[in-house]
C-alpha cells in the first residue's frame, strides 16, 4: 500500500532487517575532525555570549557600569530577587505549561499530518509544502494576525463560533487572564507545527518498506503496523524533533510579545519575555540575565533527558 521509501540509487543491496549501525573503526580521525569543526564553531561563537549572560546574572549591573565586564559582584542576589518577585512563580509555571503543550501538540499533530501526507494521493506533496507558509512568516506578522483573529469584538474566531452557534457570547481570548495563555499557545502551535511536520515527513520517507510488507503478509492491521513498525522506526527522529521544539519554544517570545505583551497581568508571560522586559524595559540587567538562566536549568534537564534516550538507541 505505501509505496514510498528510499530506493538507494544506482542499484544497491536490498536492505535486510534493521541496519546495524554499531560503528566499526570509530576511532577514525576523520570522524573526530568532522565533529570538531561544527562544535568548535559553536563554541567559538556562542560560548562567550552564554558566559557573558551568566556572569551578568551574578553581578550588580546598571547602565553606568554595563560597558565594563567586571562589575560589582552580587552573588546570588539577583536570583533571590527574581524568586521573590510575585510574578515570577506565575511566569515560570506559564513557561512550563506553554512549552509542554507546544511540544506535545506540535510533535503529535506534526506526526499525524506527516503520516497523512506520506500517502501518495494527488497534490499531497504540494499541499504539504504549502503548509510550511505558516512557519515562514515573521513573528511580528503572526502575532498581529492572531491578535486580530482572537479579538473579542472584531475577531474572526468569535465571528465563526457565534455564527455556528457553538458559543453563546464572545469569548475574551486575549483579555481574560485565564484564557490568554491558551490563546498564545494555540497561535504558537499553529506557527511551529509545519516545522515538525516537514522534519517528520523526511523521517517517515526513510522508513524501509520490507517490514510493512512482512507485516501485511502476517495479517497485521494498520494500528498494529503503526505501533510496532512506524513508531519504533521514528523514535530517534521524534525525540530529536521534540528536543528541538522544546528548546525553540523555551526561548521564543516574539510571538507572545506581539500578541499580548505578556498580559493581561502576566497571565501569558513566559520566562524569555519576562527576562527581556526586565533587561530592556526596566533596566534591571542582572535580574534579566538571572531569569534567562532559569531557562538554562530547564533546558539542561531536557538536554540530559534527550541524551539519556540515546543510550537505548545504541543498544538496539
Q: Does 226 bind other proteins (CB under 8 A)?
A: no
Instruction: Please say which residue, 105 or 113, places its beta carbon nearer to other proteins.
Output: 113
* Touching other proteins, residues 145-174 (CB under 8 A): 145-146, 148-149, 151-156, 159, 172, 174
Q: Does 211 bind other proteins (CB under 8 A)?
A: no
Could you give the string, one character per residue 249-288, with x where binding to other proteins holds by CB under 8 A and - elsewhere?
Answer: -xxxxx-----xxxxxxx-----x--xx--xxxxx----x
| Residue 170 CB partners (closer than 8 Å, separation 6+) | 152, 153, 158, 162
Q: Does 231 bind other proteins (CB under 8 A)?
A: no
Among 70, 84, 123, 219, binds other proteins (CB under 8 A): 123
In the bound complex, what is the minimum distance in angstroms from residue 18's beta carbon to other proteins? 9
Torsion, CA 301, CA 304, CA 307, CA 309, rounded to 10: -70
C-beta separation of 278 from 284 below 8 A: yes
Return the exposure string of 87-117: e unless at least 16 CB atoms fall within 10 Å of the residue's CB, then b: bbebbbebbeebbebbbebbbebbbebbbeb
What's the alpha-carbon Rg for the chain, to the nearest Å? 24
Instruction: Please say which residue, 75 or 206, places its beta carbon nearer to other proteins.
Output: 206
Looking up cell 552573588, which residue turns up? 75
Instruction: Please say which residue, 76 or 112, places its beta carbon nearer to other proteins.
Output: 112
Stretch that binds other proteins, among 73-81, 96-104, 218-226, 242-250 (CB under 8 A): 242-250
Helix (H) or strand (E) holding 286: helix 285-315
Stretch that binds other proteins, among 74-82, 89-97, 219-227, 244-252 (CB under 8 A): 244-252
Q: Does 84 bind other proteins (CB under 8 A)?
A: no
Q: Does 96 bind other proteins (CB under 8 A)?
A: no
Among 52, 73, 226, 228, binds other proteins (CB under 8 A): 52
Residue 59 bridge partners (DSSP): 73
Instruction: Please say which residue, 223 or 314, places its beta carbon nearer to other proteins.
Output: 314
Here the cell at position 309 is 534516550
Provide the 10 A C-beta neighbour count for residue 232.
Answer: 13
In the bound complex, what is the minimum distance in angstroms from residue 227's beta carbon to other proteins? 20
Instruction: Please say which residue, 223 or 315, places its beta carbon nearer to other proteins.
Output: 315
Among 58, 103, 186, 247, binds other proteins (CB under 8 A): 247
DSSP string computed for 68-134: SS---B-TTHHHHHHHHSHHHHHHHHHHHHHHHHHHHHHHHHHHHHHHHHHS--TTHHHHHHHHTHH
Torsion sign (Cα): 248, 253, 258, 264: positive
Cis peptide bond N-terminal to 255, omega within 30: no
Q: Does 138 bind other proteins (CB under 8 A)?
A: yes
Q: Does 139 bind other proteins (CB under 8 A)?
A: yes
Q: Does 142 bind other proteins (CB under 8 A)?
A: yes
Amino acid at each position: 500500500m505505501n509505496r514510498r521509501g528510499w530506493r538507494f540509487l544506482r542499484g544497491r543491496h536490498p536492505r535486510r532487517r534493521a541496519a546495524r549501525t554499531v560503528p566499526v573503526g570509530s576511532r577514525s580521525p576523520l570522524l573526530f575532525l568532522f565533529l570538531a569543526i561544527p562544535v568548535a564553531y559553536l563554541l567559538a561563537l556562542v560560548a562567550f555570549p552564554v558566559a557573558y549572560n551568566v556572569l551578568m546574572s551574578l553581578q550588580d549591573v546598571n547602565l553606568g557600569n554595563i560597558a565594563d565586564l567586571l562589575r560589582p559582584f552580587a552573588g546570588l542576589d539577583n536570583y533571590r530577587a527574581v524568586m521573590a518577585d510575585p510574578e515570577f512563580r506565575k511566569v515560570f509555571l506559564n513557561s512550563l505549561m506553554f512549552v509542554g503543550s507546544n511540544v506535545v501538540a506540535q510533535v503529535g499533530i506534526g506526526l499525524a499530518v506527516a503520516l497523512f501526507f506520506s500517502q501518495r494521493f494527488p497534490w499531497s506533496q504540494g499541499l504539504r509544502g504549502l503548509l510550511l507558509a505558516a512557519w515562514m512568516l515573521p513573528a511580528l506578522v503572526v502575532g498581529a494576525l492572531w491578535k486580530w483573529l482572537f479579538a473579542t469584538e472584531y475577531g474572526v474566531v468569535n465571528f465563526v463560533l457565534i455564527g455556528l452557534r457553538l458559543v453563546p457570547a464572545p469569548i475574551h481570548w486575549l483579555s481574560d487572564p485565564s484564557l490568554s495563555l491558551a490563546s498564545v499557545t494555540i497561535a504558537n502551535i499553529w506557527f511551529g507545527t509545519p516545522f515538525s511536520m516537514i522534519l517528520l515527513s523526511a523521517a517517515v520517507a526513510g522508513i524501509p518498506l520490507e517490514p510493512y510488507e512482512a507485516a501485511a503478509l502476517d495479517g497485521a492491521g494498520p494500528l498494529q503496523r503503526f505501533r510496532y513498525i512506524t513508531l519504533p522506526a521514528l523514535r530517534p527522529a521524534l525525540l530529536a524533533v521534540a528536543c528541538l521544539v522544546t528548546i525553540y519554544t523555551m526561548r521564543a517570545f516574539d510571538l507572545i510579545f506581539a500578541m499580548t505583551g505578556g498580559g493581561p497581568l502576566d497571565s501569558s508571560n513566559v520566562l524569555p519575555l519576562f527576562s527581556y522586559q526586565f533587561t530592556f524595559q526596566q533596566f534591571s540587567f542582572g535580574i534579566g540575565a538571572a531569569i534567562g538562566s532559569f531557562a538554562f536549568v530547564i533546558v539542561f534537564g531536557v538536554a540530559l533527558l534527550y541524551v539519556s534516550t540515546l543510550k537505548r538507541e545504541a543498544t538496539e
